[in-house]
């Protein structure tokens, strides 16, 4: 089901919404990841609806793509389609940054949050309380895999460790696929993955979903409880947001936001299939608050945990 949704998202025709009136030419939606992943799929859906094109600028932990948009013309012709990676740039790469992730951008719209899911093998702990009990009883004796240092699958488990008072070792991989391969092989105990890529493994019976990580249950895994049911206040998601360069005129930013809201309303069902939870308020002001809060949250965790970029 999840794979079919991804294919359908790529193949679907554009919506009948008009192109952005402010654009002098076809707007460019810059994605700091390679083509084909869940973030790229949603970006392409949005690009179709607003008459834009996607430009993938992968690599460098998202820094080159983000810098490119920060220095782009301030007219809505170049926009950044980013994720939670934007909230950790300053904490992980402060000395290397040639831009400020907050000051150099004008948030336009939060398309939605994407919950993650705690995955274990079918013969692993039966539920999240059992997993936490195991980790407390055997501190430091188990490990978890992630897609790399500073990614959502890393920081989400580090937040769980801090809030639940457990100790589990981090094994970073170069992407989600090798982390899941080692989970299936029993080399790590758990992986916290996006529901967009983790749900198919659960539906196929290859892995078990212990809990999802947002504030409400995921439509992609409706039977999975929330981490917050066991660890009150816990929330750790990735997300999709559209940012313009700072000093882009307010009217232009609001136009981008309105186009994103039309898209989200028209494609609510397809976005839900992809694991995206659309917020009630997608306005520039709400998006700015969200990005600022996420940045503060993850910067604090990175500092407390002593996490450093690879």
- Ordered by start, the domain boundaries in the chain are 2-114+238-305, 115-229
| Tokens read off for 153 | 């699958």
Neighbours of 50 (CB within 10 A): 25
Q: If pLDDT is split at 50, 70 and 90, which confidence band does 13 have?
A: very low
Q: If pLDDT is split at 50, 70 and 90, which confidence band does 187 have?
A: very high
Kindly report the CATH number that applies to the domain delimited by 115-229: 3.40.190.10
* Main-chain dihedrals φ then ψ at residue 200, nearest 5 degrees: -60, -40
Nearest to 115 by CA among 255, 261, 239, 12: 239
Q: Which residue has the higher pLDDT, 201 or 22?
A: 201
Nearest to 109 by CA among 274, 299, 298, 262: 262
What average pLDDT score do residues 207-223 get?
A: 96
Query: Strand runs (DSSP E) across 156-309, as ranges?
Result: 169-172, 190-194, 208-212, 237-245
Place of tokens 């982390």: 179
The pLDDT of residue 189 is above 70 = yes
Domains 2-114+238-305 and 115-229 share a fold: yes
> For residues 245 and 71, is the Cβ–Cβ distance under 8 A?
yes
Express each pLDDT in 113-164 by its tens digit.
999 999 999 999 999 999 999 999 999 999 999 999 999 999 999 999 999 9
pLDDT at 227: 98
Q: How far does the chain reach from its first CA to its final CA, in angstroms? A: 35
**Helices 176-184 & 195-203, crossing angle to 10 degrees?**
30
> In this structure, which topology does domain 2-114+238-305 adopt according to CATH?
D-Maltodextrin-Binding Protein; domain 2 (3.40.190)
Q: Which pTM was predicted? A: 0.88
d(CA 109, CA 121): 37
What average pLDDT score do residues 205-212 get?
A: 98
* Main-chain dihedrals φ then ψ at residue 141, nearest 5 degrees: -95, -5
Average pLDDT, the chain: 91
pLDDT at 200: 93
């Amino acid at each position: 089901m999840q794979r079919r949704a991804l294919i359908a998202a790529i193949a679907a025709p554009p919506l009948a919404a008009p192109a952005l009136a402010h654009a002098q030419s076809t707007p460019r939606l810059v994605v700091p990841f390679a083509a084909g992943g869940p973030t790229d799929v949603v970006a392409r859906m949005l690009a179709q609806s607003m008459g834009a094109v996607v430009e993938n600028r992968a690599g460098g932990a998202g820094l080159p793509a983000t810098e490119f948009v920060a220095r782009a013309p301030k007219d809505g012709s170049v926009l950044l389609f980013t994720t939670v990676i934007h909230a950790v740039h300053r904490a992980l790469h402060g000395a290397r940054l040639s831009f400020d992730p907050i000051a150099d951008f004008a948030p336009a719209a939060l398309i939605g949050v994407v919950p993650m899911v705690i995955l274990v093998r079918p013969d692993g702990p039966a539920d999240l309380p059992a997993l936490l009990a195991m980790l407390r009883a055997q501190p430091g004796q188990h490990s978890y895999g992630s897609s790399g240092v500073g990614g959502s699958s890393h920081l989400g488990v580090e937040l769980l460790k801090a809030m639940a008072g457990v100790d589990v070792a981090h094994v970073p991989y170069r992407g989600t696929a090798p982390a899941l391969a080692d989970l299936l092989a029993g080399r790590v105990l758990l992986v916290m993955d996006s529901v967009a890529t983790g749900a198919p493994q659960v539906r196929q019976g290859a892995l078990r979903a212990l809990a999802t990580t947002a504030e409400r249950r995921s439509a992609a895994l409706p039977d999975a409880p929330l981490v917050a049911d066991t660890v009150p206040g816990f929330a750790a998601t990735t997300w999709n947001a559209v940012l313009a360069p700072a000093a882009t005129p307010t009217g232009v930013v609001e136009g981008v936001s309105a186009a994103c809201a039309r898209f989200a309303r028209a494609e609510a069902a397809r976005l839900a299939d992809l694991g995206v939870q659309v917020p009630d308020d997608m306005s520039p002001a709400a998006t700015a608050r969200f990005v600022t809060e996420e940045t503060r949250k993850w910067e604090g965790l990175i500092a407390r945990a002593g996490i450093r970029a690879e």
